[in-house]
Amino acid sequence: MSSSYKHSIMRRYTLLLAIFLSLGSLYGCSGTKNFKTEPVLYDRDFEVHHRVHHEKGDTMAIALSANSEDFRLEVVAYSDPNKRIVLNEKRTNVRGRENVPFILKMKVRGDNYFLDVVLRDNDDGRVYRDAFFVDKTDPNTFIRIAKEGKPLIKSYLGLQDAISIYHPDKSQLYIRYYPRTYKPAAPPFSTRGQKFNPRKDFAQMVAIPSGGDVVLEGVGLYFIQADTLRKNGVFINVFEEDFPRIKSPIPMILSTRYITTKAEIAGMLGAESQKNAVDEFWLNRSPNKNFAKELIKTYYTRVQVSNREFTTYKEGWKTDRGMIYVVFGKPDEVLKARGKEVWIYDQTRNRTSMRFEFRKVDGQTLLNRNAYLKRGWDMEVYDWRRGVMN
């Protein structure tokens, strides 16, 4: 074996090893803003998960966890996103519960409301914000899911995990199991938008008593409903090990789908060494190894944030919002209205201004695809392929 070949192999291995190690510490936060003066969407330094459910009467409960030992929690329920009428609000300090679920309950009258959630770390000033609509007329919002007696907040679990499912007004609940994997989102200019259809491709459906336990015995999607006549429900996924992190070559290869060709994906997957192949892909975009590391760090951090923030019936990076986040990064502005979300990217030296509109349908957030988005998309992909990060 020649010395130059040995050096090439070592360079690739060292690069991948460094990236795998660094990605383990890259985790972000999410926040939502209605105005530019408010905290920016999806910052990466404050990881927060939350899930809302209702109890009998007017009681709303939000279960959340954060990677903070000491934070201030503010929850305000408004009648609408313009915040004209405050229905109720609560503020409290939470200490000593880092990554441990915390439940806050409050009375909220009405069938629909707009919830504003703000966390501020009392030690370092980090801020998380999210704002979203809640539809109390949907019976699925009364479903409570727990793991080992603690509320389940994330939409993904491990193989063989056991969960309990409860609904205060239903004697039984329904679970559909889908053992398949789902395709990444189609480009924003395509007409092939993908929407989850609960009545298609499931292996089995079982009814369990309210309060019953379920063991997740297979990799795939578990779709939980209180009413099977509806199209929405609660998504619980079992993915391969390490999710939502990206720590092995195959997910690193597959998640480049938006900036690669099918032939390039097939070539990397079929290579004798997949590690070397994905490493070579990024090195070919870069003038040197250090810049390749920055490319990899930026790209796969976006994939991981998308997995954590946008996972529904499939991995977050495969969803419409995940696709846009991976390729374009964090939006400069996010606007929310009932059933709608808009991401705005300001014009820069290398990028034209872009606007992506999403609609909320049956518990999913779907992009309004448009042929006019093709030029901006193509320019962004072209920049990735020549090693330019916007």
- pLDDT value of position 9: 43
- pLDDT value of position 78: 93
- pLDDT value of position 296: 93
Exposed, middle or buried: residue 368 (CB in 10 Å: 0-12, 13-18, 19+)?
A: middle
- pLDDT value of position 350: 79
Which residues make beta-bridge pairs with 151?
146
Give the residues of the chain that fall short of pLDDT 50. Answer: 2-14, 16-40
The answer to whether 197 and 180 have CB atoms below 8 angstroms apart is no
Residue with tokens 């460094």: 18
Which residues make beta-bridge pairs with 167?
none
- pLDDT value of position 127: 87
The answer to whether 213 and 162 have CB atoms below 8 angstroms apart is yes
The answer to whether 192 and 371 have CB atoms below 8 angstroms apart is no
Instruction: Please report, for the chain, how many H helices and E strands are present, in that order.
Output: 7, 20
- pLDDT value of position 390: 82
- pLDDT value of position 42: 61
Phi–psi pair at 242, nearest 5 degrees: 90, -15
Q: Alpha-carbon distance 245 to 34, whole Å?
A: 29
For the chain, list the domains and their CATH numbers: 3-28+249-254+261-385 (no CATH), 31-142 (2.60.40.1940)
- pLDDT value of position 367: 97
